A = this chain, B = another copy of it.
Amino acid sequence: MAKKQLPYVIGCDGGGTGCRVVLADAQGQVLARASGGPANATSDFALTITSLSAALAEAAAQTGLSPQALRASVAHFGLAGVVSPAVAAQVAAALPFDHITVTSDREVAVTGALGGADGVLLAIGTGTIVAAQRAGQRRDAGGWGLQLSDQASGGWLGRALLEQVLLCHDGLHPHSDLTRATLADFGAPLDMVLFAAQAQPADYARFAPQVIAAAQAGDAVGRGLMQRGAAYLDLALKAVGFMPDEVLCLTGGIGPHYAAYLAAPAQAAITAARGSGLDGALWLALATARGLRGGAA
């Protein structure tokens, strides 16, 4: 009997702004990387599948693999908005893999940053992930989406900026360079209000870099927003039981920018992450592939 071909392995990390996939051989050697559009399975399921499919097609095209070889891969997808097993099953059913595991982006972020080791993660991108991992057990806080949660995230920072702009325009708070420039970019308050009526978290998150840069330059409103975000993160760290002797990783597009605003014990505990959420997804897929081979032996 011919030796069964080892499967390819696929990892994917998807968030509100975009998704990234990595395709590797059975030893974890990376063959292709590709990225695509937003992948929040709860906010927009159809767009999520479109984004993922485009990124997968791009990765396949880079390697010249047949559709059949791709289907036989072992895949781990970690996506924003996978809030229940039902959503995970819906995503898995919509993608062309024989062996696929779908989790929230929290799982791949924690595995990427900490591997299997103990520690605490603040992964702040379009949304917010706060998670502690101790002896393989997780303790989570926040990250329930921008409507009611996701404090400190890029989406939250951007929306909070626009709220401040209106408060300044109405004379309740004093303008700063940041609020004046933001209002000038829109032209009039009403244009900002009409933007917000349609805005998704990723749309708000596009203003986060301006908040971060203004805060660094000493802008009072920018600093105030970063301090409010950091105050939430300090409370969330307390809620997941963070202790000063633990490892603390700050990842995501926004996370590292909070370093200077956190309470001193948290600042002192900051350690470089082992890898990205995409690395975490690949490692989880490789672990599943090893398990499948082990089970077949």
**Shortest distance between the CB of A236 and any CB in chain B (Å):** 6
Contacts of A189 in B (CB 8 A): 144
A144 close to B171 (CB less than 8 A)? no
A235 close to B172 (CB less than 8 A)? yes
Say if the beta carbon of A163 comes within 8 Å of chain B: yes
Stretch at the interface among A11-19, A118-126, A193-201, A209-217: A193-201
B83 close to A171 (CB less than 8 A)? no
A147 vs B144: C-alpha distance when bound (angstroms): 17
Contacts of A142 in B (CB 8 A): 166, 170, 172
Contacts of A163 in B (CB 8 A): 148-149
A196 close to B235 (CB less than 8 A)? no
User: Could you say which interface size class chain A belongs to?
Assistant: 20 to 34
Of B42, B144, B162, which contacts A166 at CB under 8 A?
B144
B197 close to A145 (CB less than 8 A)? yes
Say if the beta carbon of A68 comes within 8 Å of chain B: no
Contacts of A162 in B (CB 8 A): 148
Say if the beta carbon of A72 comes within 8 Å of chain B: no
B193 close to A83 (CB less than 8 A)? yes
A170 close to B147 (CB less than 8 A)? no
A172 vs B231: C-alpha distance when bound (angstroms): 11
Q: Given the interface contacts A42-B197, A193-B83, does A239 sit within 8 Å of B148 by beta carbon?
A: no
Contacts of A54 in B (CB 8 A): none
Say if the beta carbon of A141 comes within 8 Å of chain B: yes
Contacts of A76 in B (CB 8 A): none
30 A-B Cβ contacts within 8 A? Answer: A42-B197, A83-B193, A83-B194, A140-B170, A141-B170, A141-B171, A142-B166, A142-B170, A142-B172, A145-B193, A145-B196, A145-B197, A147-B196, A147-B197, A147-B199, A148-B163, A148-B192, A148-B193, A148-B196, A149-B163, A149-B166, A149-B193, A170-B236, A170-B239, A171-B239, A172-B232, A172-B235, A172-B236, A172-B238, A173-B235
Residues of A within 8 A of B (CB): 42-43, 83-84, 140-142, 144-145, 147-149, 159, 162-163, 166, 170-173, 189-190, 192-194, 196-197, 199, 232, 235-236, 238-240
